[in-house]
């Protein structure tokens, strides 16, 4: 089944249409024909099973055959990710989407070397926002993650947002396995925030501020991981632990 994405308001119609680049992809790349079946994701849990009604390069008209909806995930993970060099953040966003992340916050910390100024900030932010759209079409994830504009560490902390569980990937001696923060028989956290530092990790004063805001240090294993590896490792560990059956107290 070929998947496409349309904003939720466009999915209210029983005859939604693919336009622009999506119409081009459907008509010229996939060579869809009248009668073909496709799926449309609305990014808020819904999937529309559709039949192709008409095809042109500028517009592919669809007819909705059925609708299904997934509830929000039982836990919502916010990834606060220090921006790595080059295009590595693009890969992180793509893979994090496949791992079911709820939101991604690109972070400008002291040791981030990426230079974002003026128009480049919005340009980069727009590129980053489009990556989850392509990723959900590939993996079938029905909830589209939100990608925040890049912000500084103090700016994110100033929001004062509260989570059931806040974690920071750490090399400090008092780091613990995630399981240590999930008591046997306790209710699972529904909102989780995980911080991942840049190359060279967070500066000492940054780590102090992060932990002062309530983040608990977790280990990702005995090896020193690259930032992009650490992000995916942390998300995998969190998903694995939270999906495990609750142990008896």
- Going through the chain in order, the beta strands assigned E by DSSP cover 2-5, 17-19, 37-41, 46-55, 59-69, 76-82, 103-108, 146-147, 151-152, 165-169, 191-196, 216-218
Please tell me whether residues 189 and 218 are part of one structural domain. Answer: yes
Residue 14 has pLDDT above 60, yes or no: yes
48 class by beta-carbon count within 10 Å (0-12 exposed, 13-18 middle, 19+ buried) = buried
Let me know the angle formed at the C-alpha of 124 by 118 and 127, rounded to the nearest 5 degrees. 150
Separation between Cα atoms, residue 36 and residue 33, nearest integer Å: 6
Name the token pair of 159. Answer: 């929001």
Q: Which pTM was predicted?
A: 0.92
Please tell me whether residues 24 and 82 are part of one structural domain. Answer: no
Separation between Cα atoms, residue 188 and residue 2, nearest integer Å: 35
**Has residue 249 been placed in a domain?**
no
Report the pLDDT value the prediction gives residue 112, as an integer from 0 to 100. 86
**Has residue 22 been placed in a domain?**
yes
Please tell me whether residues 96 and 185 are part of one structural domain. Answer: yes
Separation between Cα atoms, residue 5 and residue 22, nearest integer Å: 9
Residue 74 has pLDDT above 90, yes or no: yes
pLDDT interval class at 245 (50, 70, 90): confident
Report the pLDDT value the prediction gives residue 118, as an integer from 0 to 100. 59
Residue 246 has pLDDT above 70, yes or no: no
CB of 167 closer than 8 Å to CB of 176 = no
Please tell me whether residues 49 and 85 are part of one structural domain. Answer: no
Last residue of a domain, one of 69, 97, 117: 69
Helix, strand, coil share (%) of the chain residues, nearest 5? 35, 25, 40
- Percent of the chain beyond pLDDT 90? 84
Report the pLDDT value the prediction gives residue 227, as an integer from 0 to 100. 94
Please tell me whether residues 163 and 233 are part of one structural domain. Answer: yes
Report the pLDDT value the prediction gives residue 186, as an integer from 0 to 100. 80
Please tell me whether residues 86 and 160 are part of one structural domain. Answer: yes
Mean pLDDT of 152-164: 96
Model confidence over 167-176: pLDDT tens digits? 999 998 999 9
Report the pLDDT value the prediction gives residue 117, as an integer from 0 to 100. 65
Please tell me whether residues 223 and 135 are part of one structural domain. Answer: yes
Separation between Cα atoms, residue 19 and residue 228, nearest integer Å: 34
pLDDT interval class at 64 (50, 70, 90): very high
Last residue of a domain, one of 69, 86, 106: 69
Please tell me whether residues 42 and 99 are part of one structural domain. Answer: no
Query: Does residue 154 sit in helix, strand or coil?
Result: helix
Report the pLDDT value the prediction gives residue 121, as an integer from 0 to 100. 77
158 CB-near residues (< 8 Å, 6+ apart): none
pLDDT interval class at 155 (50, 70, 90): very high
**Has residue 6 been placed in a domain?**
yes
Report the pLDDT value the prediction gives residue 247, as an integer from 0 to 100. 55
pLDDT interval class at 185 (50, 70, 90): confident
Q: What does the mean pLDDT of the chain come to?
A: 93
Domain range for 100 is 76-243
Let me know the angle formed at the C-alpha of 93 by 90 and 96, rounded to the nearest 5 degrees. 145
Last residue of a domain, one of 33, 51, 69: 69
pLDDT interval class at 249 (50, 70, 90): very low
Mean pLDDT of 120-135: 89
CATH number, domain with residue 35? 2.40.240.20
Let me know the angle formed at the C-alpha of 65 by 59 and 66, rounded to the nearest 5 degrees. 120
Residue 86 has pLDDT above 90, yes or no: no
In a 13 Å sphere around the CA of 85, the CA atoms on its Cβ side amount to 5
Please tell me whether residues 119 and 207 are part of one structural domain. Answer: yes
């Amino acid at each position: 089944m070929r998947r496409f994405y349309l904003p939720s308001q466009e999915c209210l119609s029983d005859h939604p249409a693919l336009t622009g680049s999506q119409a081009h992809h459907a008509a010229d790349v996939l060579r869809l024909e009248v009668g073909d079946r496709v799926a449309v994701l609305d990014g808020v849990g819904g999937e529309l099973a559709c039949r192709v009604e008409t095809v042109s390069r500028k517009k592919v008209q669809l007819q909705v055959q059925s609708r299904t909806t997934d509830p929000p995930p039982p836990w919502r993970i916010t990834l606060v990710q220090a921006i790595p060099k080059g295009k590595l953040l693009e890969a992180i966003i793509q893979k994090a989407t496949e791992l079911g992340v709820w939101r991604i916050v690109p972070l400008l910390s002291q040791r981030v070397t990426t230079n974002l100024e003026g128009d480049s900030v919005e340009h980069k932010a727009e590129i980053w926002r489009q990556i989850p759209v392509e990723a959900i079409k590939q993996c079938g994830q029905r909830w589209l993650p939100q990608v925040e504009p890049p912000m500084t560490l103090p700016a994110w902390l100033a929001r004062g947002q509260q989570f059931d569980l806040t974690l920071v990937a750490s090399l400090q001696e008092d780091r613990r396995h995630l399981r240590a923060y999930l008591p046997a028989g306790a209710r699972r956290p529904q909102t989780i925030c995980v911080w991942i530092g840049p190359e060279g990790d967070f500066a000492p004063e940054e780590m102090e501020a992060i932990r002062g805001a309530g983040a608990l240090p977790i280990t990702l294993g005995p090896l020193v991981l690259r930032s992009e590896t650490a992000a995916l490792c942390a998300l995998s560990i969190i998903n694995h632990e939270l999906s495990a059956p609750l142990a008896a107290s």
